[in-house]
Chains A and B, each alone.
Chain A
Amino acid sequence: MNRSCYIFTCVLALCTACRDFPDPFSEVVESYSFSQEGLNQKAFAGEYLTDSIFVTVYDHVNQSYPPGMEVRFEIVTGDGTTDQVTGLTDSRGRVGTRWKLGSSGNEQILEALIYTSSGEFRSTIPFKATGFIRNDWNTITCQPDISIRDMAADSVSGITLAIVNSTLYKQGERFFDWNPAPDIPISMPRRIVEGKDKRLYIGTWDGRLFKSDNNWANWTECTKPWPDHSYYYQLQVTSDNYLWATAYGFGKGLRCSRDGGQTWSTDTIGLQAGEMLWDIFRLSDGTLFFHSENTNLSKSVDDGHTWTKIEAPKYPLKFYVTDQDELILINQINGISIYKSDDKGETFILKKSIHPSYGTSMDHTVHRWGNDFYLLIPGYGILHTIDFEHYDTFWMNLDAFDMLMDAHGNFLVTELYIQRVHYYNNPQP
Chain B
Amino acid sequence: MGFSDFHGYNNSGRWQTKTGSLTGIFFRYEVTPVFSVGTELNYTTQGYCHKSYGSYYYPPYYQPWMSYSPDYYPYVYYTQIKERWDYEFLRVPLYLTLSTPTRLQLSISAGVFVSFITSHDYTGPAPLPYQYMLNSMYPVYGDSNTPKHDNGIWYAASLSYPVNDVIRIYAQGRYAIGHKSFVAYGAGRTGVSELVFGMAYTGLFRSGNNPSACSVVPDSSFAKIMVLPKAGMGVSWIRKSARPGAYGPKAGGSVGIWIEYRLDRTASVVSGLGFERKGYQLQDSTASFYRHAMADYPLYQAETRVDLDYVILPLLLKIRMGTVTRAYLEGGLYAGFNLNARVTGKAETESISEYGYSRRRIDVYDDIEGQVKNFELGWMWGAGVEIPMGNGHYLDLGIRYSLGMHKLLENTESGANFLSDSDETIRNGSLNLQLGLTFPLIRQK
> Footprint of B on A, CB under 8 Å?
1-3, 5-6, 8-9, 12-13, 15-17, 21-35, 56, 58, 60-61, 63, 92, 114, 122-126
Is the Cβ of A30 less than 8 Å from the Cβ of B358? yes
Residues of A within 8 A of B75 (CB): 63
Is the Cβ of A26 less than 8 Å from the Cβ of B354? no
Is the Cβ of B253 less than 8 Å from the Cβ of A125? no
Is the Cβ of B80 less than 8 Å from the Cβ of A23? yes
Among B357, B363, B389, B393, the one with the most A-chain Cβ atoms within 10 Å of its Cβ is B357
> B360 on the interface (CB 8 Å rule)?
yes
Is the Cβ of B61 less than 8 Å from the Cβ of A58? yes
Is the Cβ of A28 less than 8 Å from the Cβ of B55? yes
CB distance from B358 to the nearest CB of A (A): 4
> B312 on the interface (CB 8 Å rule)?
no
> B352 on the interface (CB 8 Å rule)?
yes
CB distance from B385 to the nearest CB of A (A): 16
Is the Cβ of A16 less than 8 Å from the Cβ of B233? yes
CB distance from A235 to the nearest CB of B (A): 39
Residues of B within 8 A of A30 (CB): 357-359
A24 to B52, CA, bound (A): 7
A183 to B14, CA, bound (A): 62
A12 to B64, CA, bound (A): 62
Residues of B within 8 A of A24 (CB): 12-14, 51-54, 362-366
17 residue pairs from A and B, CB less than 8 Å apart: A8-B231, A12-B232, A16-B252, A21-B363, A23-B51, A23-B80, A24-B13, A24-B52, A24-B364, A26-B361, A27-B360, A32-B357, A33-B355, A34-B354, A34-B355, A34-B357, A124-B354
Among B75, B104, B230, B356, the one with the most A-chain Cβ atoms within 10 Å of its Cβ is B356
- Count contacts on B: residues with CB < 8 A to the other chain: 53
A9 to B258, CA, bound (A): 14
Is the Cβ of B354 less than 8 Å from the Cβ of A126? yes
> B344 on the interface (CB 8 Å rule)?
yes
> Footprint of A on B, CB under 8 Å?
12-14, 51-56, 58-59, 61-64, 70, 75-76, 80, 104, 159, 229-233, 251-253, 255, 275, 277, 344, 352-366, 389, 393, 395, 435, 437
Is the Cβ of B344 less than 8 Å from the Cβ of A29? no
Among B51, B354, B395, the one with the most A-chain Cβ atoms within 10 Å of its Cβ is B354
A15 to B232, CA, bound (A): 11
CB distance from B296 to the nearest CB of A (A): 18
A2 to B390, CA, bound (A): 11
Is the Cβ of B54 less than 8 Å from the Cβ of A25? yes
A25 to B363, CA, bound (A): 5
Choose among A6, A12, A28, A56 the residue that contacts B358 (Cβ–Cβ < 8 A): A28
Q: Which 5 A-B pairs have the closest CB atoms?
A: A16-B253, A31-B358, A25-B363, A30-B359, A24-B365
